[in-house]
Amino acid sequence: MAAANFEQVFDRAQSSPTHNADGDSSPEHEQELLGLLERALMRGLRNHAQLTKIQLPFERFPDMDSKFWHVPVEDSGDAGVLRFFFETPNPLADQSH
């Protein structure tokens, strides 16, 4: 599955009917954010699409570290934006030996 397709599938799978006070569906509390990040990491592993980068609003989550497990975390620059970046392995690279 291509990385872009996987991200679209993940976005649909993570859609939630609950919204925060601003009307968006991004996590409202750090504990909820950590659960979402863990699910993204696990889903990437199951789909052989490694989670390589996370962007989240540091404005809303100032205590987040620059890494979640081994994945770099950057500021998304927007209080309602949470992005996951996945990298799929190149199947041809495994056949090069």
What pLDDT is attached to residue 28? 81
3-state secondary structure 12-78: HHCCCCCCCCCCCCCCCCHHHHHHHHHHHHHHHHHCCCEEEEEEECCCCCCCCCCEECCEEEEECCC
Give me the pLDDT at residue 66, please: 93
pLDDT at 27 over 90: no
0.85 cut: is pTM over it? no
Taking Cα atoms as reference points, which of 2, 3, 1, 93 lies closest to residue 51? Answer: 3
Residue range 35-77, pLDDT digits in tens: 999 999 998 889 888 899 999 999 999 999 899 999 999 999 8
